[in-house]
Amino acid sequence: MDPYKYRPSSAYNSAHFTTNTGAPVWNNNASLTVGSRGPILLEDYHLVEKLAQFDRERIPERVVHARGASAKGFFEVTHDVSHLTCADFLRAPGVQTPVIVRFSTVIHERGSPETLRDPRGFAVKFYTREGNFDMVGNNFPVFFVRDGMKFPDMVHALKPNPRTHIQENWRIMDFFSHHPESLHMFTFLLDDIGIPLNYRHMEGFGVHTFTLVNRAGKCSYVKFHWKPTCGVKSLLEEQAVIVGGSNHSHATQDLQDSIAAGNYPEWKLFIQTMEIKNENNYDFDPLDVTKTWPEDLFPLQPVGRLVLNKNIDNFFAENEQLAFCPALVVPGVYYTDDKLLQTRIFSYADTQRHRLGPNYLLLPANAPKCAHHNNHHEGFMNFTHRDEEVNYFPSRFDPCRHAERVPIPSHPLGGRREKVMIEKENNFAQPGARFRSWPAERQERFIARVVDALSDPRVTHEIRSIWLSYWSQADRMLGQKIATKLNVKANM
């Protein structure tokens, strides 16, 4: 072995995936879990290395969600949900909690136009009396992939070509041809709602399934939905060209101007809940982020309203330094074993520590608005004034004690260590049903966007055939129409 031969040069890449130290990676698609659906193990070194490496790829701009706009306001409870959760900020109708919200595009750079077809981030930070609760979601209720192991590769495929810095459809079609679970997300991204008119006319979703826990310790699965009171409005391609050509910051300006004029954006918060004991009774996995819960089985229940009535004071301090993490929950709200959520719990905080420093939670926009105390001290940019002599726990010289115990899910876990996909993939039923729910003209616009993506000259016959097979399995007519426009035979 020549120790100086192989690096740094991609000319000597191995034929198989490895870790940074050269250890072979035999499964680069699935995280190591307890059983097929259990929580992810921290000992999955490859996953942790992959996510940690990915989180440090850009500095100082965010890797994703770089282009964003923020505003401040309040959340007010309008309906009693105390039977579902012991969360203090949801304790009774009329209770108000200050919030800051950041809207964003996902893939493109900080200075990119806000009229590009792209998912939108919808992140809400609740400054509760029990600490901060971050509801970090998107404007679509589903996502491209189910397992965070795939997330860095997914973003790489959606980002510009590293050689040319041009976003290209052949890369996107190639990557997602390996992941039919993405079909449902594409029925949102390539739909008419793929380019929101602005942030005020945009829905928001928690995307993941979380757990609500009440005072008695009873747990329920929950999905969060934000519905704008002014309705959902979007831009078609021709309109987006005109709007983006005149103002590439049109959504940021609309948010700023609307609040300044007293036309405060408002959303209603709804939830869907599910009895955990019934989670195996359906043809989909309720923890699968590529699926929605049918509203006829799980009706939307009103909870409260979100009102944005104050513009931020400083873009850098309250937008660029504003940091979210889905790990930030409060008593009464907890995680689930959703594989994508489990990886985000690690990755988001890791990203912020890299981008903003280990003490990013001391920055005003991120710091809790309630009294807090711990022994995390020193480190880069720690500006907290401290005059204590005791910085350890416990101590007979310091009266600090444990907080009151709060209930969390406590179901037993068991299973073998294994890297596997979830059993109920069912990748095609919901995308097909969504397509069939649209009027004919909306279907035709969707088909045109799919055809445009598959018409990239570098999309091979094999990749095109795979996509035709996928769309045909979702809906036979849809596959036939795409094949006709591509002048190829549908592969049923």
Tally of domains in the chain = 3
Which residues have a catalytic role annotated?
65, 138
**Which CATH number characterizes residue 209's domain?**
2.40.180.10
Burial 20-38 (b: 16+ CB within 10 A, else e): eeeeeeeeeebbbbbeebb
The token pair at 111 is: 């200075």
In this prediction the pTM is: 0.91
Domain assignment present for 432: no
CATH code of 29's domain = 4.10.91.20
Q: Per the domain annotation, does 84 fall within a domain?
A: yes
- Regarding whether 124 and 85 lie in a shared domain, the answer is yes
pLDDT tens digits in sequence order for the chain, 492 residues long: 566 565 556 777 888 888 887 888 889 999 999 999 989 998 998 999 899 988 888 667 899 999 999 999 999 999 999 999 999 999 999 999 999 999 999 999 999 999 999 999 999 999 999 999 999 999 999 999 999 999 999 999 999 999 999 999 999 999 999 999 999 999 999 999 999 999 999 999 999 999 999 999 999 999 999 999 999 999 999 999 999 999 999 999 999 999 999 999 999 999 999 999 999 999 999 999 999 999 999 999 999 999 999 999 999 999 999 999 999 999 999 999 999 999 999 999 999 999 999 999 999 999 999 988 888 888 888 888 888 888 888 999 988 888 888 888 988 888 999 999 899 999 999 999 999 999 999 999 999 999 999 999 999 999 999 999 999 999 999 999 999 999 987 665
Does the residue 107 lie in any domain?
Answer: yes
The answer on 306 and 166 residing in a single domain is yes
Amino acid at 343: T
Is residue 429 in a domain? no
Instruction: Report pLDDT for 115.
Output: 97
Residue range(s) defining the domain that contains residue 45:
1-57
CA 288 to chain centre: 13
CA 103 to chain CA mean position, Å:
12
The predicted pLDDT at position 17 comes to 82
Buried b / exposed e over 94-128, threshold 16 CB at 10 Å, is ebebebbbbbbbbbbeeebbbbbebbbbbbbbbbb
In this structure, are 142 and 96 located in the same domain? yes
pLDDT of residue 492: 53
Whether 281 and 171 share a structural domain: yes
Considering the domain boundaries, does residue 257 fall inside one? yes
**For position 5, what pLDDT does the model report?**
64
Same domain, 222 and 353: yes
Same domain, 42 and 125: no
Task: Verify that 99 and 28 share a domain, yes or no.
Answer: no
Of the residues 362, 385, 407, which one is the last residue of a structural domain?
A: 362
Q: Is residue 15 part of a domain?
A: yes
- Is residue 305 domain-resident? yes
One domain, residues 42 and 171: no
241 SS3 class: helix
Of 384, 363, 364, 360, nearest to 374 (Cα)? 384
Known binding positions for heme? 348
Find the helix or strand (DSSP H, E) in which 465 lies: helix 461-474
**Do both 48 and 127 map to the same domain?**
no
114 lies in the same domain as 32: no
Single residue among 57, 78, 101 that ends a domain in this structure = 57
Q: What does the block give as tokens for 75?
A: 């959340």
109 found inside a domain: yes
Q: Are residues 26 and 81 in the same domain?
A: no
The reply to whether 347 and 477 lie within a common domain is no
Give me the count of residues in the chain: 492
Residue where one domain finishes, among candidates 313, 345, 362: 362
Q: What tokens appear for 109 in the block? A: 């750079």
